Structure 1
Amino acid sequence: MTTTIAPLPLALPTPSSLRASAQAAARRGEPLVIMTTLTGCPYCDLVRNHHLLPLSRAGEVVAVQLDVRDRRSILQGFGGESTTPADQIAEWKAKFAPTVLFFGPQGQELAERLVGVAVPDFFGEYLEARLQEARKRLK
């Protein structure tokens, strides 16, 4: 008998509802971590594959991604309104990919955004500091 192991995803999930995702994260005592992404962006791949996916797989964060160019998918915003990922990102004025944002259940930002990757070697420390800040403000 052969056992087949499904490959692990190389992408973070894309939510259909920010409100539901943030409320689910808050029930776990976690902020909703949202990464803006762009196809072909090596820094997005770095943040996703070396930081957010491992933390997500370990159950340490609730992380999702939104594509800055996605104008086709319907996304429910924090207030229940319908939008697209691209329009939501524009509303947040998140102009760079990757940008990592930290939200509470009502859509409030809980920590300073991580914009881009200035120093890859220190990104994990910056991320951990923002996660600690967001968790503290969530309680």
Structure 2
Amino acid sequence: MKKLLLVGLLLLANAVSADHYTPETFEDATKLPQNKLLVLLTEISNCPYCSQIKEQFLGPLSLAAEFGPYITIASINLESSEKLIGFDGKAVTQDKWAQQMMGVDFSPTVLILDPKTGQRLTDDLVGLATPDFYGFYLEQNINKAKQSLAID
């Protein structure tokens, strides 16, 4: 019985840690790995759809052999006045960068960007209207972006 309980607790611990994937905060575009796509989540605080995207899609994607080595996953908060360094090397707040520089004002939005220029490589994934197909659309966009930059 104790062994069964221990196994159950270990499985639960793994499930909990997998359910709380947190991408790194996007802080400095000039320090991004140049050989990896930037998968950027724009989010707001206490957003259940943002959490769902992180836990069900971005977390597993970061671990997948076919995607993990080719992507950097990061996030910014559309409500944050924390500074970041943009692709032009200038400091700007997260909210201003997302809204003024990238034209993003809805959360969650996932952008796939060129790590050198910040140029969009695919259409943005806005919202989470179709969770059943979201992973497919995300993988399709990453594959398209990998081809356009010849990343493999």
TM-score relative to the length of structure 2: 0.78
RMSD: 1.9
The residue number in structure 1 matching 2:84 is 75
2:27 to 4, 16, 19: 16
Question: After superposition, what is the alpha-carbon deviation per residue over 1:43-99, rounded to whole angstroms, capped at 9, x for unaligned?
Answer: 10111111112222343431000001011x210000101101111111211121110
1:102 to 112, 118, 123: 112
Instruction: Say yes or no: does 1:128 pair with 2:144.
Output: no
Larger radius of gyration: 2
Instruction: Say yes or no: does 1:57 pair with 2:63.
Output: yes
Instruction: Say yes or no: does 1:86 pair with 2:92.
Output: no
- Give the CA deviation at 1:123: 0.3
Whose helix proportion is higher, 1 or 2? 2
Unaligned runs of 5+ in 2: 1-12
Kindly tell me the number of residue pairs found equivalent between the two proteins: 129
| Identical amino acids, percent of aligned pairs | 31
TM-score relative to the length of structure 1: 0.84
Unaligned runs of 5+ in 1: none
Moved >4 Å (runs of 4+): none
